[in-house]
Amino acid sequence: MNSTFPAVISDSLYLPPLSYFVAIKACKEIVIPASEPVIRQSYANKAEVLLANKKEVLSVPVFGIRKRLQIKELKIDYQQKWLNVHLRGIQSAYGKAPFFEYFYSDLEHVYLQKQAFLIDLNRELLTVCLKSLGWDVRLRVCEKYDKNEASKDIRGLIHPKRLMDRDKIYYPHEYQQIFGANFVPNLSIVDLLFCEGPMAETILNRSEKSN
């Protein structure tokens, strides 16, 4: 089992996957350095959900993601119609899920605020997810953060391409999903919350890789 870490140093991720929550679940504080460069092809602006028997990627369009900007500098492109696509996609994927009505309105409220910067959207959505899990975790965005011995640094660890690193911390525990006969692991946390509600924390605990 994980030791308790006072703080986890984390990337800013958009509706993070289950492996992220397994990695942070023993912490008391999540620290997100805003001056970090954006990692290409990461979960910074992408989340994976399950739609009609296939995995779908929801992507938030931003300005300048190819210019190696810092995460705090990425502005969301609202000229593209991504917002309605994401809201309709979540409704289509999980509208019939057992706990959809318990969590959707809080997520929708964040989206409709139309945050200008990606880091602010990610922070507000993560706050809702932590609250929905019932986790008493402080979330702090700062310019820089100096790692100390009591901190756990997971920056760069939760990434679609780093499967071997993911497998060191995350062992998928199956639960009942809305679509498909075959279980799809490591989707966005919203998949677990909508499908399992109060059982979400138990499933995350069972998804932790044993040493």
pLDDT at residue 147, rounded to an integer: 67
Q: Does residue 182 have a pLDDT over 60?
A: yes
Cα gap 96→169, rounded to integer Å: 31
Q: What is the mean pLDDT of the chain?
A: 90
> What pLDDT is stored for residue 4 in this prediction?
64
Question: Could you report the per-residue pLDDT of 50-70, keeping only the tens digit for each?
Answer: 988 689 999 999 997 667 789
Cβ count within 10 A of residue 147 = 12
Instruction: Determine phi and psi for 56, rounding to 5 degrees.
Output: -120, 140
pLDDT at 180: 78
CA distance 107 to 95: 13
Task: Please state, in angstroms and rounded to a whole number, the distance separating the CA atoms of residues 175 and 122.
Answer: 26
pLDDT, tens digit (0-9, with 9 covering 90-100), for 79-136: 999 999 999 999 999 999 999 999 999 999 999 999 999 999 999 999 999 999 999 9
Q: Is 176 a residue whose pLDDT tops 70?
A: yes
The answer to whether 165 touches 154, Cβ cutoff 8 Å, is no
- Of the pLDDT bands very low, low, confident and very high (cuts 50, 70, 90), residue 149 is low
Q: Which residue has the tokens 């993070």?
A: 16
Summarize the confidence of residues 14-38 as an average pLDDT: 93
Q: Within the chain, what is the greatest distance between any pair of CA atoms?
A: 47
Tell me if residue 18 falls in helix, strand or coil: helix
